[in-house]
Amino acid sequence: MSPGARVLDVGSGTGFYLGLWRELGAGAVTGSDLTEVAVERLAAQHAGVEAVRLDIGDEAIDLPDGSFDAVSAMDVLFHITDDARFARALVNVARLLRPGGLLVFSDLFVHGGSWRAPHQAIRSLEEVRGAVAAAGLREELRRPMLGRLNAPVDTRSRAARAAWWTLRTAALRGEAAGWLAGAAAYPFDVGLARVMREGPSTELMVCRKPK
């Protein structure tokens, strides 16, 4: 992250990734969310961060072209269930990025056919790659973010599914049990994600806008 980099975080929620961008040395960080209430909360909780109301899938985005060196959309784009709006979201991101800028986003990138869940579109890796390319972005990196701490929707491994259900069952026994299960599994999960080339659940993709 170059000093003074300008970053937009799409669908900031509680603002977790805003803090991470600041830690990485971003010079100007802009958070965003769908409602004014969420935007006001972001502004109140994250001093020095600009917060704007934004629906990245809209036809018109009230931000200047080439405003940002990087855009992040963590666990956001798969909630855009309409395929036309999903494609438009990537086009909007490409417009907001300066030449050479980066898009960082998480998704499931399943191998095989896409499918739908309530409030979520599970798109295939091929489908997402097609939309990324159509928006004028170039994929540079894809890596697993989680190993066993999310539902393994992109694997046929019985062991992976059994591990997930065992962890989930333990977590559902109560808040304390859930905390202990997560704390015990987290170091193993981080190590697993680092060595895997393909993940069974959430993965990270980094794309660049060509210069």
Model confidence at 92, pLDDT cuts 50, 70, 90, reads very high
Q: Could you give the CA distance from residue 117 to residue 102 in angstroms, rounded to a whole number? A: 29
In the numeric block, the tokens 């985005």 are attached to 61
Q: Is residue 187 part of a domain?
A: no
Give 158-178 pLDDT, tens digit per residue: 877 777 677 778 777 888 877
Would residue 77 count as lying in a domain? yes
Residue 76 lies in a domain: yes
Rounded-to-integer distance, Cα 67 and Cα 73, Å: 16
Asked if the structure places residue 174 within a domain, the reply is no
- Looking at residue 1, its pLDDT comes to 65
Residue 121: inside a domain, yes or no?
Answer: yes
The pairing of strands 68-73 and 6-9 is parallel
The DSSP code for 79 is G
Enclosing domain of residue 77 = 55-146+198-208
Is residue 43 domain-resident?
A: no
> Which residues is 106 bridged to in the sheet?
204
Count: domains in the chain: 1
pLDDT in tens, 99-142: 999 999 999 999 988 888 888 999 999 999 999 999 999 999 99
What's the confidence (pLDDT) of residue 185?
Answer: 74
Residue with tokens 């962890």: 167
Output the six-digit token pair for 117.
């869940």
pTM (global) more than 0.95: no
CATH number at residue 107: 3.40.50.150
Partnered with residue 139 across adjacent β-strands are 207
Give domain status of residue 100, yes or no.
yes
